[in-house]
Structure 1
Amino acid sequence: MVYVPALLGLLLTAASYVTAQTACVAGMRSLLTNTSAYWFGTRYETDCPPGNVGLWCRSNREPSRTSLLTRLMGDGATDPSGLAFVINVRYPNTLPVDGSDRTYPGCGRIVEAPLKRPEHFCINPLCNSVYSPFDLREEPGVTWPAEQNALYTVMMYDPGPFFMHALYVNVTGGRLQNGDTIFPYIGPGNPFDRVNPYLWLVFKQQRPLDVSLIPSVRNEIYLEELISQLGLSTQSYGINVAMTKTDEYAAVFLRSVGFLNRCPAYYGQWLSNYIQERGGLPSLPACLDLSVSIDVGFTAPAITYTSCGTVYQKSPVNVTVDYRNMDLLGAVETRNSPQVSLVPLAIRGQPPSVTLRDKLYTLLMYDPTEELGQTDQNAYVHWMVVNIRGTDITSGDEVYDWLLPMTSTLNQLYLFALFEQRASIRTRRAGSFGGTDCHPYIPRRCKFRAGDFIRKNNLSLVGLRHLRVVPDTYRQYMAYAVTKLQTRDQACWGQVGERPQCPIG
């Protein structure tokens, strides 16, 4: 009799679990057949009417499949009764071991990602939670009620573009730890702001599977064909659904694999905040709606020079400033004219040279630091090329040749700005917006009225790249020995060996 209460508690717990599972299964079956639950359902026709060529609309390869069930089992599927259980999917939310806040490399910046969920959390398909790709980046623990000695196939599947994010076969024990890995886990990479479902699925196998006979590509996998090929049972399968929308973590991943370049949008948001926090610029709009990435490459041979009485030797330079680069550069690394690549939003299927082929651009590299928080225009122009045809920078007309940045502080705002032109620009007119009282080494580069130049030529800003430059000894050398912008005493002030000696005694 002493064991009766404990046994009763276990029975009640088991009964509660069965009741909860039954409710979850009923809810999931309803979601499987709901034709308006997801973006590819009946509202797709309203959101993407005929003739809409937007990337989101073009991503739906099977618009006739309006429910999850038809996305999984084919156009004619109507019976969800094969769904027998809801899979338990528990994601980790790893924290830095040093106790610092979570961060990750974004589009040319470090993104802060404070923890908003428990360190371990289970996805619930019926609670309307929407997750970020960053939170689902690590392979989760996956468990289900398994039959003894049975083999299972487990997968994570995107029913939008029919992409397989993970695939495991010959799994035993109702836990994703034993078996053969066909496709290692890749977390959700939703490229769009609209919410998309990602499915965890478990199917019982009829027999052990030969891994060499399973498809070796992840994309365009139609599940009903894979089920038939592998001989999987659809009489009793399990499911769970994670709803996600895009974030900067997904944007970086998708650009790295050459699928889509959402980085201009995120980079524009960050740079807009950066500039507005410093008072804004009269030459640029407050909200930077960017659609093209400007990737800048610098190359230069090894060099030896003497600055402020000391000989320096520098190694060859080969550095690219793009969405992966957050380093600080010195003048010595930027001394030669850069190579510039333009990468538009859509990069899958067509190279940038085709996507931007019929466009006309102006590329301006300038320093508007003196304009921050001001209304007067007072920038320095370091480089300008107009009438660029497509992505070929060399096809344009150079108005100002390259002038390396020679900052003496850490907060100069060097910007590569790309503008779309509506008409050809005359080079003489483009060069008339600079001051007439500049130093002889930089004629008409000072007091540059960038805002007037942009407005007079009806230019539209489409791309930006912030060049982060620090003072170095090469800048000192150039400042007094080559450009004569400073005297030797001014350039070398504070340098060891150049400091004035204090009197003794």
Structure 2
Amino acid sequence: MGIPYNSTVFPNLAGHLFQGGASVGLQRIKSLIEKKCSPNIREFLCRVYLPECSPSGKPVIPSWEMCQEAHDGCSSMMSSLGFKWESSLNCSKFEAGTIDRIKEIANDKSAFWFGTGVKSLCSKERPTFACKMNRFPSQTDSIISRFGGSIDISGVDRLMKIQYTYENGTVNACKNDFSLPGGSLEVDPLSPTVNHGWQLRNLPAMKWTAAPSDYFTLVLYDIGFTYLHALYVNIPGNNITKADEVHQYRGPGNPTDVANPYVYLLYKQHGHLQLTDPLRQSLNKKPLETLHNESNFYDLKSISWVRVSADPFSIGRLEKEHQVNNCPLLVSEALQHQDRPFLPHNFNLNMSVDVTYSPSAITFTSCCKTYAYRETSLELNPIGNMTVKTAHVRSSIMPSVTLTKQDPYFRANKFSDDELYSLIMVDPDVPIFYKVASNSHPLIHWMVINIPRGNVNDGVTVREYRGPQPSSGVHTYYFLLYLQSSRISPSVISNYTTSCTRCLFDINCFTTDHGLKLTGATWFRAEYDEYVRHQRVDESGKDEAAECAKEPQYPQSCSGVSIPHIIG
């Protein structure tokens, strides 16, 4: 079965004393694994029949949620094979163990990003966005300690079944549309699986053990970044649709790439609660303190959580609400798919580099055809791998660059006086036989150093902007933003190029020697087109017949009157 561990323990949960019996039991229902009737069926059966040993020597048992998912997906198939869902696989037997394990993890200061790993995660060398959002940077927390003593889990005695169903759809984030799939998931606090905001955007179906006469309060809380996401009181039994809504459900929307827990808390009430305006306000402002101190509530009866990291849905939602700029995360993911030797092996961009061109109208002749480009404006879209016309980004059209930090928007444009940046635009796709660039030593198209306060116009331009002029095929032009460790002398740039001051730029040596850290990027693609031919013939004196040889209707088009081709 390809089990990825080599130590187990007997007797197992199926009652087998030795491995032989366990193997026979597994063999009977091997087809369940082969048919993949449930996503976790293999892991579930292995934990029942051949459990892995934990570091403490105890078997790693399946959770109640894992068992329920396996049962729901596979019990009918087992019946069709002539077997019943065995008593050894009864999910109720895993409930007590699951509750105990949930309590252990809730108190474990190494279980989540804000625990013992927070120091390395938030090191000065490469702090993640989550560190900027952390309201308690000096603390090392478990889930329980992060609540500040406002909850007590000693009375937890039941599990919640939390089921999400989500449809496929399209969301917009950072100027791009993303198609996201549909599906369903069941929350399992013991699972390391990381989910996303798109999956959790709607109120889930929930069940727990309760008498019809019981009343409950449910809280959903972002414990990592300390935000309330839902609060319902007077839930009769386990029917949340009949509850009084204090804080409408807002699905988890973690904007960071760190797996962050969102915690579900279930309180049993003394009875039906009179929801006065003062109590409603108190629950909204200080939900956990109020629940802890309010005499109408019993101890906490159930706790669960789901791990969530950023996705286009959560990034786009917070962008639209003008709360947080996390477009650098999506740009990072797009850039990591590009195999370029001048990119660091591990990088996390934390700046948006927004480049806008506003080209004026232009008319020119290329291969005896007249082209008329209208005035326009275009913003680069690196995630969409944007292709532009070279006339729109020509040398006479200076790009406008705006730098925005990966931060809440109220401070995303704030820069300290000692922050300096370098912006370098390069083309690594020039054919090597031209001897002006290579994949590792690109051609410089623009270079500005010592940029203060995030204002590119106030930096020192050491290589003036030069528009693309790809000689053949498609070239990618990168704008790379680096955080400087100190001021750079303009005179040193020539040490990293040939006598041609833009050619074969040793970008890796330059960034290493000066301690530069890649913090932002954008790019566009351009190809050999009519404006490039115009430049090469009319401005550089290249042979027109050679440049236009592959153009349709050339040279016949030179004999008549050219009707302008309108572009833009």
TM superposition score normalised by structure 2: 0.63
Q: C-alpha offsets along residues 244-298 of structure 1, whole Å, 9 cap, x if unaligned?
A: 456677666667766666665664565355225xxx3xxx255153544352322
Instruction: Provide the rounded CA distance (Å) in 1 between the counterparts of 2:348 and 2:432.
Output: 20
- 2:447 is equivalent to residue 384 of structure 1: yes
How many residue pairs are counted as aligned between the two chains? 457
- 2:470 is equivalent to residue 407 of structure 1: yes
Q: C-alpha offsets along residues 141-182 of structure 1, whole Å, 9 cap, x if unaligned?
A: 322245547765443211222212334556567345455483
1:242 shift after superposition: 1.5
- 2:220 is equivalent to residue 156 of structure 1: yes
Instruction: Provide the rounded CA distance (Å) in 2 between the counterparts of 1:38 and 1:426.
Output: 44
1:52 shift after superposition: 12
Q: 1:86 — aligned with what?
A: 159
Cα gap change, 1:451/1:239 in structure 2, threshold over 3 Å: closer, same or farther?
closer
* RMSD over equivalenced CA pairs, Å: 4.9
- 5 Å-filtered alignment, 1:94-493, equals 94=167, 119-126=183-190, 128-133=191-196, 136-139=199-202, 141-145=204-208, 147-148=211-212, 153-168=217-232, 174-177=238-241, 180=245, 182-189=247-254, 191=256, 193=258, 195-203=259-267, 206-207=272-273, 209=275, 214=280, 222-227=286-291, 233-235=297-299, 237-244=301-308, 264=328, 267-268=331-332, 270-276=334-340, 280=341, 284=342, 287=345, 289-300=347-358, 303-308=361-366, 309-321=369-381, 326-335=385-394, 336-346=397-407, 350-355=411-416, 357-370=417-430, 379-407=442-470, 409=472, 411-427=474-490, 430=493, 444=500, 447-451=503-507, 454=510, 458=514, 460-462=516-518, 463-481=520-538, 483-484=539-540, 486-493=542-549
Q: C-alpha offsets along residues 431-458 of structure 1, whole Å, 9 cap, x if unaligned?
A: 676666xxxxxxx465343448726963
Q: 1:9 — aligned with what?
A: none
Cα gap change, 1:40/1:297 in structure 2, threshold over 3 Å: closer, same or farther?
closer
Instruction: Provide the rounded CA distance (Å) in 2 between the counterparts of 1:294 and 1:199.
Output: 31
Q: C-alpha offsets along residues 187-243 of structure 1, whole Å, 9 cap, x if unaligned?
A: 2416254x432212344563364789746998xx64323436988633464332213
Q: Secondary structure at the match of 2:478?
A: strand
Q: Is the 8 A contact 2:353 2:401 kept in 1?
A: yes
1:365 shift after superposition: 0.9
Fraction of identical pairs, as percent: 17
- Structure with greater helix share of residues: 2
Which segment is superposed worse, 287-296 or 104-113?
Answer: 104-113
Instruction: Provide the rounded CA distance (Å) in 1 between the counterparts of 2:196 and 2:540.
Output: 52
Instruction: Provide the rounded CA distance (Å) in 1 between the counterparts of 2:318 and 2:451.
Output: 28
Instruction: Provide the rounded CA distance (Å) in 2 between the counterparts of 1:347 and 1:156.
Output: 22
1:391 shift after superposition: 0.9
Q: Is the 8 A contact 1:275 1:372 kept in 2?
A: no
Gaps of 5+ in 1: 1-11, 97-102, 437-443
Cα gap change, 1:348/1:130 in structure 2, threshold over 3 Å: closer, same or farther?
farther
TM superposition score normalised by structure 1: 0.70
Out of 136, 139, 144, the residue aligned to residue 61 of structure 1 is 136
Cα gap change, 1:258/1:433 in structure 2, threshold over 3 Å: closer, same or farther?
same
Instruction: Provide the rounded CA distance (Å) in 2 between the counterparts of 1:416 and 1:92.
Output: 41
Cα gap change, 1:421/1:138 in structure 2, threshold over 3 Å: closer, same or farther?
closer
Instruction: Provide the rounded CA distance (Å) in 2 between the counterparts of 1:204 and 1:428.
Output: 72
Q: C-alpha offsets along residues 86-118 of structure 1, whole Å, 9 cap, x if unaligned?
A: 22111336557xxxxxx98888999999x9xx9
Q: Secondary structure at the match of 1:468?
A: strand
Instruction: Provide the rounded CA distance (Å) in 1 between the counterparts of 2:162 and 2:332.
Output: 36
Q: Is the 8 A contact 1:90 1:140 kept in 2?
A: no
Q: Secondary structure at the match of 2:554?
A: coil
Instruction: Provide the rounded CA distance (Å) in 1 between the counterparts of 2:159 and 2:373.
Output: 65
Cα gap change, 1:337/1:197 in structure 2, threshold over 3 Å: closer, same or farther?
same
Instruction: Provide the rounded CA distance (Å) in 2 between the counterparts of 1:162 and 1:415.
Output: 38
Gaps of 5+ in 2: 1-85, 558-568
Instruction: Provide the rounded CA distance (Å) in 1 between the counterparts of 2:90 and 2:176.
Output: 48
